[in-house]
Amino acid sequence: MPWPGVVRAFFDRLPIENDRNVVTLLEGNTPLVETPAVAARVGTGVRVFCKLEGLNPTGSFKDRGMTAAVSAAKEEGSTAVICASTGNTSASAAAYAAKAGMRCYVLIPDGKIALGKLSQAMMHGATVLQVEGNFDDALRLVVDISGTHPVTLVNSVNPNRIQGQKTAAFEVCEDLGRAPDYHFLPVGNAGNITAYWLGYTEWREEGRIQNAPRMMGFQAAGAAPIVRGYPVENPETIATAIRIGCPASWKSAEAARDESGGTIGMVSDDELVEAYRYLAAKEGIFCEPASAAGVAGLFKTAPSLDWKEGDTVVCTLTGHGLKDPDRAIAVSPQPAKVSAEMSAVLAAMGFAS
Ligand code: AN7
């Protein structure tokens, strides 16, 4: 049977009543790729897999939650959705709203979103408002607006988003035949770590897996409120996706950390960029900068973790590298300019005689 998208694949576990209301772009079923060059930096006998969420229809993990949230909105008879976003949520909301024939309003932080994401929201016909402020300001506004106007909020404070996103944990367990021992991922608004933990605990309670992984979430050091223990007024990081100073799912992220015996840590922009480039150069995997936070966190904490032979690690790579080509170009050696002559090209290739 062809893959039906996450709502239909896990229909009995998601809050959609009627199949007729499902709004899907056939998201989910993303590859879990073994990454030996990452594992080589971790420890002997440890296997590392990356879940490539950038291969979802709009290029990020947000599509899992968005199919659930927009389907539920349709079921309620809603005709418009709204979100605040650092980029990926807006791209996904705009696409699913377009598919559903709904209006979409997105509030994004002025200037600080990757161009690929902005282009998506614009192309899908959303009303895009650049707020003179950051994500946290935008989120406050959309929560208020959705409380008083006929628009459905599709940020992850909408529980249907978390429900949809938990399906990634189910897929990981199905692919591995068990749960991993550690799960590393970036943390921004903290919905995804909350959702994975919900998925793992659901399946553990049903006896489908015996153990749940330690949840290892990583924030950018300039936007690490959970690590620091207080909201960050002016979050800053090159990983614009996780430039968030007051995460909505703060408490549930801490619960995921504590119940799983995991950690929420932070990585510097330099550590994040190093992991971003390493994945691209050594594994052939191009993720967006924020996505590399989990792998950067793995590299950073690996020496201090108590590894056992056969330990299995999953890292979620949350978004595709093509979302933010400007950053990729900025951190890479620039192409050499050569004249259109064989000798010049060969010389530049290192084949000079
Ligand atoms: C690539 O799009 O918050 O901790 O508004 O785009 O669940 O928030 C994006 C977040 C990680 C953090 N990686 O996930 C938004 C937004 C990427 C992201 C995160 C985001 P959460």
- Residue 87 CA to ligand 1 center (angstroms) comes to 8
Residue-level pLDDT at 43 = 83
Q: What confidence tier does 293 reach under pLDDT thresholds 50, 70, 90? A: very high
- Residue 96 CA to ligand 1 center (angstroms) comes to 17
Residue-level pLDDT at 121 = 98
- 155-174 pLDDT per residue, tens: 999 999 999 999 999 999 99
Residue 201: pLDDT over 70: yes
Residue 310: pLDDT over 80: yes
Residue-level pLDDT at 248 = 97
Q: What is the mean pLDDT of residues 200-214?
A: 97
Neighbours of 105 (CB within 10 A): 22
- 82-106 pLDDT per residue, tens: 999 999 999 999 999 999 999 999 9
- Residue 290 CA to ligand 1 center (angstroms) comes to 8
**Closest ligand 1 atom, CA of 60?**
1
Residue-level pLDDT at 352 = 72
Instruction: Using a pLDDT cut of 90, give the percent of the chain over it.
Output: 98
Residue-level pLDDT at 353 = 64
Residue-level pLDDT at 44 = 82
Residue 82, classified by CB atoms within 10 Å of its CB into exposed (0-12), middle (13-18) or buried (19+), is buried
- Residue 351 CA to ligand 1 center (angstroms) comes to 45
- 134-147 pLDDT per residue, tens: 999 999 999 999 99
Mean of the per-residue pLDDT values of the chain: 97
Token digits for 140?
A: 């406050």
CB of 51 closer than 8 Å to CB of 30: yes
**Closest ligand 1 atom, CA of 90?**
2
Whose C-alpha lies nearest to ligand 1, atom 9?
241
Residue-level pLDDT at 210 = 97
